[in-house]
Amino acid sequence: LKRLIKSLLKSRFTFCLPIDFTKLINHQIIFIFETFSLSNGKIQFKMDIEFKSSKNPVNYEKALKLLEKRVNEVKKGGRELVWFLEHPTTYTAGIRYKKEEILDKSINIVKTNRGGKITLHNPGQKIVYFVLDLNKRKKNIRNLVREIENIIVEFLKIYRIKSYADKKNIGVWVNRKKIAAIGIRVSRWVAYHGFSININNNLDDYKKIVPCGLNNEKITSFKKEGKKSLNINKNLKNIFLKNLPKI
């Protein structure tokens, strides 16, 4: 493999290796490198996707601006992004929301361009935003949603939470209760926004809305399922990396 890459690097051609290049390799590896360079006879790999983690809650509108800025950068060939964070208590409305889904008229609703209806973000809920260039991957939105659901299901399995995806209702469920919501927008085949997983957030905040068009009692979390939340970001990152070639 090294001899092959070195010979390509020394050629006069510009080349791009496909994401599924691992099919040519008889070793179990996670292929996350798409750019190669040669320095002093040694192959150096550049990771074309950035993993970012924020310790403190990030203002929703500020996060959205950063996300949209990265979308424009990715359209011009910039690095993709996966971002782990939390938000202060914020109610957001997707493009399919209805006014009657706001039960408490005193709350402030932030309108967004993502898919879906009204949902809640609050401390203790893990948010995973991403900016992925489907031009370099699979131009298949259904596949993207399915693989994101698979990432969440596999992640929850680590904590012995048996979950599943529902063909009629996007998201991930535990005993008919929603534990993870997904909201995605695609612009020129660059997919962004992401998903949220209820860890130990206050589920009472959902009572002020009809979350994702559901009854408030149909929402659950790690805490409600009696599970401890350890190494959330680390495990999410590992699962994301493992499943990234399928997107």
State the catalytic residues: 212
How far is Cα 84 from Cα 130, in angstroms, rounded to an integer?
9
**Bridge-based pairing state of the strands 190-198 and 125-133:** antiparallel
Helices (H), the chain: 2-9, 60-75, 141-158, 232-243
Contact indicator for 227, 160 with CB cutoff of 8 Å: yes
Helices (H), 12-86: 60-75
CA torsion through residues 118, 94, 125, 150, sign? positive
Provide long-range contacts, Cβ within 8 A and 24+ apart, for 40-47.
Answer: 41/6, 43/2, 43/5, 43/6, 43/9
Contact indicator for 127, 87 with CB cutoff of 8 Å: yes
Greatest Cα pair distance, the chain, in angstroms, is 65
Nearest to 193 by CA among 247, 125, 114, 136: 114
How far is Cα 159 from Cα 157, in angstroms, rounded to an integer?
5
Q: Phi and psi (nearest 5°) for 182?
A: -125, 135
